[in-house]
C-alpha cells in the first residue's frame, strides 16, 4: 500500500488524526477470537514494557547537558541527527533494555526510545524559558514593571509573541522553589522532576515486522495486525503472537486518505486508537482575501464573529449582523467542577498530613478513595473542555464557510490575561480554553482551505469600527448614563452596539487591511500578523452600507382611521373547546398571556445581540445553567444574518428556492452561495 498522496494543482497534503476503538481481535497463531477485555490486557502488557523502558531513558538523561546535545541536532562527529527520535537516540548511543529475563524484539525498544526522545526534545523549550525568567528575575515576582517585561521577553527567543500567562506560570514555579529552599534553582531539571511516561504504543516507530495496517474490502473498515505478548513477562519470542484487529474508521476519515500506523492507549478496559491519516486539501493563502470572518473573545459570550467584504475600491463593508456563541452554562458547570476538585484536593492534602505516609493508618483507605475521585473529577473537567473547544471551533468554521470567507482572523490571545478584574472574573477567564479552540479551529479550517490568522488585539474593543474613535462604554443600551463595559457608543459618528460586535468588525477589517503583512511560522505553520502599521490601520474601517429606499409608496391617500379611546379587548377568534358546563357556565376565552414564560430548560434561553442589563440584586446566574441539562443545552449560538443576494443577479428558479429556503428556516438567515 502506497503511503504517498496524489496531489492536484492547488492542493497540499494534510496529516490529521481521528479517534477509534479496538473492540476485538483474532490470535492468528491459535486461530481464536479475543474479547475486548483480553485484547486490552495484552495491549496493556506491551504498554507497560514500553513505559518502563522509556522511564529509565528519561531518568538517565534528564539533565541539561544531554538535552542540549539532543537539541543541537548534531552528534559527536558533527553529523546531522535523524528526524525520528528513536534514530537520533541510537545515533547518540542512548539505549535501553527490558528487565532481566524479559524478551522483547527491537521494535518494542524503538517505541520506548521514540517516546523518551520526544519528551527530551520538547523540554528544551521549557529549559530556555526557565533560564530567561531567572536571568531577568523581577524585584516583585507577583507584579512586573514594563521594563522587566521587556527584559524577560528580550532574553527569550520569540518572547515578543509569547503569552504573558506562560511567563507568569513559570515565574510562580520558580518562586515556589525559592520559598521552599531559599535559593534559585540551577535549571528546570532541578525545579521539576522527569515527567511520568504514558502507557501507550507508538506504532509509528515500527515497521512491518511489528505492525501493519491496510484498508479492508468493506468501505469504512481497516485491519490492524500487530505482535502482542501472551503473558505479562514474555520469556521468549514464542510468547509474542500476531493479532488481527478490525477497526471501524470514523466518518471524518476520507475514503481516499492514506492510513498510517496508529497509537494505542489502554484506558479503563478499552483500547483507544489514534488513527493518523493523510489526505489532500486546498492550499491556504496568506493574502489576496476579499471576504474574511472576524472572531472576538468574550467572557459569557465566548465567541462573537461576523463577515466583512473588501471591495475593489478599498472599502470594507460588513455582511450582516454576525452571531454569538454563548457558553455561560458550560462555564458555570466548569466552575462547579473546579471548586469540587479544589475541595477534594484540600481534603486529600489534609489526609496526607495526618497519615504521614503510613499505609496502616485508619485514614489511608479514605485517602486512596479521595485520590481516585480527584482523578475522575479531573477527567470530567478535561472532557468538558474538549467538548467546548470542538463545538466552538466547529461553529466558527461553519460561519466562515456559510459566508464564503477564505480567511478567519482571530484576536491575539496574549492580552487575554486573568488579572485586575477581581477574584471571580480572573478565575473564570483562566478556565477558558481559548488556546485549544484556536488549535481546533486551525485543524477544521484546513479541511476547506480556509486560513486562520492571528491579529493583534490592540484597541479592537476600545475604538469605533467605523471611524476608529475611542468609544464610550456603558452598562447597557437602556442605561446610557451608567458606566460599564458591555455597550459601546461612539461620540463621533454616533455608532452604538454591543462591545463584542464592534470588536469582531475591527478584527476583520484590520486583518484585511494588513493581510500583506501576514507571516507563517516555519515550525508550526501558524499564520499571524505581528504588528499594526498606522498607514494601513487608517483604512481598516467599516463603511456603513447605504440604506436602500423602500419600493412601497407610503403617501397618504385616505383619511386616518378613527381609533376609540377605550378599545375593547381582543378575543380569540377560535371558540372555546366544548366541555361539560358547570353550574356557572363556561367562561369565554380571554387574552393570551403576553409575558415571557418561565424557561424550564437551558435550550430555550433568550438570546439577543442587544442584551439589556443584568439584574442588580442577588447572585448572578446565567439563564439556562440548569443542573443535568447536558452540554448541548448549555452552549447556545445565535444564527448570523448574512446579506441577501440581489434579486437581479438570480434567476427565477433561484428566487423561488431562496423564498422556499427562507420560509423553511423561519428566519431571515440566508447563506450566500
Domain-wise residue ranges, the chain: 12-137+184-280, 138-183, 291-337+385-537, 645-673
How far apart (Å, rounded) are the C-alpha atoms in residues 228 and 245? 11
Query: What is the pTM for the complete model shown?
Result: 0.74
Q: Residue 650: its pLDDT value, please?
A: 40
Q: Which residues of the chain have pLDDT under 50?
A: 1, 418-421, 572, 574, 589-592, 596-597, 599-618, 620, 622-629, 644-673
Q: Residue 405: its pLDDT value, please?
A: 93
Q: What is the CATH number of domain 291-337+385-537?
A: 3.30.420.10
Q: Residue 645: its pLDDT value, please?
A: 45
Nine cell digits for residue 157: 527567543
Block residue for cell numbers 474593543: 461
For residue 212, give the 3-state DSSP assignment.
strand
Paired strand residues for 264: 201, 273
CA distances from 568 to 119, 338, 563, 572, 573 (A): 79, 57, 11, 13, 14
The count of other CB atoms within 10 Å of the CB of residue 19 is 12
How far apart (Å, rounded) are the C-alpha atoms in residues 204 and 212? 10
Instruction: Sort 103 into a burial class: Cβ within 10 Å, 0-12 / 13-18 / 19+.
Output: middle
Antiparallel, parallel or unpaired: β 201-202 and 263-267: antiparallel
Q: Residue 612: its pLDDT value, please?
A: 37
Q: Is 397:444 a contact under the CB 8 Å cutoff?
A: yes
How far apart (Å, rounded) are the C-alpha atoms in residues 489 and 501? 12
Q: Of 65, 105, 72, 63, give the one whose Cα is nearest residue 91.
A: 72
How far apart (Å, rounded) are the C-alpha atoms in residues 188 and 136? 15
State the Rg of the chain over Cα: 31
Q: Residue 321: its pLDDT value, please?
A: 84
Amino acid at each position: 500500500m502506497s503511503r504517498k498522496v496524489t496531489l492536484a494543482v492547488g492542493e497540499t497534503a494534510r496529516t490529521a488524526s481521528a479517534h477509534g476503538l479496538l473492540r476485538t481481535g483474532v490470535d492468528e497463531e491459535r486461530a481464536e477470537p479475543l474479547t475486548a477485555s483480553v485484547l486490552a490486557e495484552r495491549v496493556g502488557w506491551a504498554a507497560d514494557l514500553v513505559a518502563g523502558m522509556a522511564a529509565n531513558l528519561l531518568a538517565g538523561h534528564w539533565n541539561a547537558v544531554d538535552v542540549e546535545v539532543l537539541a543541537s541536532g548534531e552528534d559527536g562527529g558533527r553529523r546531522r541527527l535523524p528526524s525520528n527520535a528513536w534514530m537520533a537516540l541510537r545515533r547518540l548511543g542512548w539505549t535501553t533494555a527490558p528487565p532481566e529475563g524479559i524478551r522483547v524484539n527491537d521494535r518494542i525498544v524503538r517505541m520506548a526510545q521514540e517516546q523518551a526522545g520526544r519528551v527530551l526534545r520538547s523540554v528544551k523549550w521549557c529549559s530556555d524559558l526557565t533560564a530567561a525568567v531567572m536571568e531577568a528575575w523581577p524585584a516583585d515576582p507577583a507584579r512586573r514593571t514594563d521594563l522587566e517585561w521587556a527584559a524577560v521577553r528580550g532574553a527569550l527567543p520569540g518572547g515578543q509573541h509569547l503569552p504573558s500567562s506562560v511567563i507568569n506560570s513559570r515565574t510562580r514555579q520558580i518562586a515556589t522553589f525559592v520559598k521552599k529552599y531559599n535559593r534559585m534553582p540551577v535549571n528546570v531539571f532541578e525545579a521539576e522532576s522527569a515527567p511520568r511516561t504514558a502507557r501507550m504504543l507508538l506504532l509509528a516507530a515500527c515497521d512491518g515486522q511489528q505492525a501493519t495496517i491496510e484498508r479492508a474490502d468493506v468501505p469504512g473498515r481497516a485491519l490492524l495486525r500487530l505482535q502482542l505478548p501472551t503473558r505479562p513477562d514474555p520469556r521468549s519470542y514464542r510468547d509474542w503472537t500476531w493479532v488481527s484487529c478490525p477497526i471501524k474508521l470514523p466518518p471524518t476519515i476520507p475514503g481516499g486518505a492514506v492510513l498510517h500506523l496508529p497509537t494505542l492507549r489502554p484506558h479503563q478496559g478499552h483500547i483507544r486508537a489514534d488513527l493518523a491519516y493523510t489526505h489532500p486539501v486546498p492550499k491556504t493563502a496568506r493574502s489576496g482575501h476579499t471576504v474574511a470572518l472576524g472572531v472576538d473573545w468574550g467572557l459569557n459570550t465566548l465567541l462573537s464573529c461576523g463577515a466583512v467584504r473588501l471591495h475593489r475600491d478599498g472599502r470594507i463593508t460588513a455582511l450582516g449582523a454576525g452571531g454569538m456563541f454563548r457558553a455561560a452554562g458550560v462555564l458555570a458547570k466548569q466552575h462547579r467542577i473546579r471548586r469540587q476538585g479544589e475541595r477534594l484536593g484540600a481534603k486529600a492534602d489534609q489526609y496526607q498530613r495526618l497519615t504521614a505516609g503510613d499505609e496502616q493508618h485508619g485514614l489511608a483507605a479514605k485517602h486512596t478513595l479521595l485520590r481516585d475521585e480527584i482523578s475522575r473529577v479531573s477527567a470530567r473537567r478535561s472532557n468538558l473542555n474538549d467538548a467546548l473547544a470542538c463545538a466552538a471551533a466547529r461553529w466558527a468554521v461553519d460561519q466562515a464557510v456559510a459566508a464564503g470567507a477564505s480567511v478567519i482572523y482571530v484576536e491575539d490571545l496574549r492580552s487575554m490575561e486573568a488579572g485586575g478584574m477581581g477574584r471571580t472574573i480572573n478565575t473564570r477567564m483562566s478556565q477558558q480554553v481559548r488556546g485549544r479552540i484556536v488549535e481546533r479551529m486551525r485543524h477544521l479550517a484546513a479541511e476547506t482551505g480556509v486560513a486562520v490568522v492571528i491579529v493583534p488585539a490592540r484597541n479592537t474593543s476600545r475604538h469605533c469600527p467605523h471611524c476608529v474613535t475611542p468609544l464610550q462604554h456603558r452598562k447597557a443600551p437602556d442605561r446610557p448614563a451608567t458606566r460599564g463595559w458591555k455597550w459601546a457608543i461612539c461620540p463621533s459618528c454616533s455608532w452604538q452596539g454591543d462591545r463584542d460586535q464592534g470588536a469582531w468588525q475591527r478584527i476583520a477589517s484590520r486583518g484585511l487591511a494588513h493581510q500583506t503583512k501576514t507571516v507563517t511560522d516555519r515550525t508550526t505553520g501558524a499564520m499571524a500578523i505581528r504588528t499594526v502599521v498606522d498607514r494601513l490601520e487608517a483604512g481598516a474601517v467599516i463603511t456603513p452600507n447605504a440604506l436602500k429606499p423602500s419600493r412601497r409608496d407610503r403617501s397618504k391617500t385616505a383619511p386616518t382611521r378613527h381609533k376609540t379611546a377605550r378599545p375593547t379587548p381582543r378575543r380569540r377568534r377560535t371558540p372555546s373547546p366544548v366541555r361539560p358546563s358547570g353550574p356557572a357556565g363556561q367562561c369565554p376565552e380571554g387574552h393570551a398571556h403576553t409575558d415571557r414564560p418561565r424557561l424550564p430548560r437551558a435550550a430555550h434561553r433568550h438570546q439577543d445581540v442587544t442584551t439589556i442589563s443584568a439584574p442588580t440584586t442577588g447572585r448572578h446566574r446565567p439563564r439556562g445553567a440548569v443542573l443535568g441539562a447536558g452540554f448541548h443545552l448549555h452552549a447556545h449560538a445565535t444564527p448570523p444574518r448574512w446579506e441577501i443576494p440581489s434579486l437581479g443577479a438570480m434567476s427565477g428558479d433561484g428566487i423561488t428556492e431562496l423564498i422556499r429556503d427562507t420560509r423553511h428556516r423561519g428566519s431571515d438567515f440566508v447563506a450566500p452561495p
